[in-house]
Amino acid sequence: MIGLDAGGPPDGRENLCEIGRYRRVSRANEHGLVILSMGISYWLMPLEEGEYGLFVEARQEEAVREQLSKYERESRYWPPAQDILPKGDHSLYSLAVYGLLLIALYVISTPDLLARGRLSAELVMNGEWWRVFTALTLHADWGHLVGNVAGGCLFAVLLSRYLGYGMAWLAILLAGGAGNLVNAWFYSTQGHLAIGASTAVFAALGLLGGVRLLRQYRLTGWRWPRQLSAPLIAGAVLLAFLGTGDERTDVMGHLWGFAAGVVLGGLVAWRGWDEVSRRWPQFPAAVTTLLLIGLAWLAAHVSGPG
């Protein structure tokens, strides 16, 4: 018998109500401390098969069950699990390939190349799917190029901590392409044209926020709004600070890229693929990214300029 009273159960065991059964005495006593904090006595008795029963007076049952239920809800994610990430290989080679690819295409770009690869909302809606990817590799000037190379490398390094470098680049390309596709649909009747990797850069930022948001949910649940909202707030601030500019800036492209990244990143983390992807070989994913870009440019070459 354990409780506030020194004696046994009041009027015998028949006036007690069983609150729970436990295989570990420590767990039973944990709930017992909650009951004691209410100023109520409890009794811990051995049962069959090595279990222990926790009892209170029948008249206290409803209040005790309500308090134990509240305790379970509040302590479900306590102490908070630590989000420990492996150091991993961020592969400087992949960053070099990304930078060299964009620089090479800028150096060899011609009006014909731009016409074949740029994002044309009308042509994309007419089936020229490759433009959502080829447009990500083209740039208008050196300033445009350098900014996207730096931003892409930064966010890819951060994202690779969660997905590995190969899966990170593949996710960035897919989310950037999805952002361009939605942008083309949004401007489908306005003859919109666009080039630049910035949609993919903001897709990487969205991926980072989406993955971090859902990872935090897996660790702590929705009970920690500041921890959960921080990734998206940071992403939105960066989007507002970096994603708007002069009249040539494709603001909607940045917005759709960010949104596509958040959705894809959230899906990846929600399904637990971020944990799995770090154990996969990263090189095949990186090669797949390059092959998809190559396939898109091959389709652009075969189709001719728009």
pLDDT, position 276: 75
pLDDT, position 23: 84
DSSP for 175-197 reads HHHHHHHHHHHHTTTTT-EE--T
Q: Look over the chain and give the mean of its residue pLDDT values, rounded to a whole number.
A: 83
Q: Position 296: which residue type? A: A
* 14 — pLDDT class (breaks 50, 70, 90): low
Map out the domains of the chain as residue ranges: 13-75, 92-303
> Tens digit of pLDDT for each residue in 244-253?
555 567 788 8
Domain 92-303 bears CATH identifier 1.20.1540.10: yes
Say if residue 4's pLDDT is above 50: no
pLDDT, position 12: 55
> Tens digit of pLDDT for each residue in 80-92?
555 556 556 668 8
* 6 — pLDDT class (breaks 50, 70, 90): very low
pLDDT, position 25: 85
pLDDT, position 78: 58
Taking the CA atoms of 116, 124, 189 and 261 in sequence, report the sign of the dihedral they define. negative
Two domains, one topology: 13-75 and 92-303: no
* 5 — pLDDT class (breaks 50, 70, 90): very low
Tokens at 57, concatenated: 């007076």
C-alpha angle 95-87-173 in degrees, rounded to nearest 5: 35
> Tens digit of pLDDT for each residue in 173-220?
999 999 999 999 999 888 889 999 999 999 999 999 888 888 877 766
> Tens digit of pLDDT for each residue in 82-119?
555 655 666 889 999 999 999 999 999 999 999 999 99
Do 223 and 72 touch, CB atoms closer than 8 A?
no
CATH of domain 13-75: 3.30.70.1530
Which of 210, 225, 141, 143 lies closest to 171 in space, CA to CA? 210
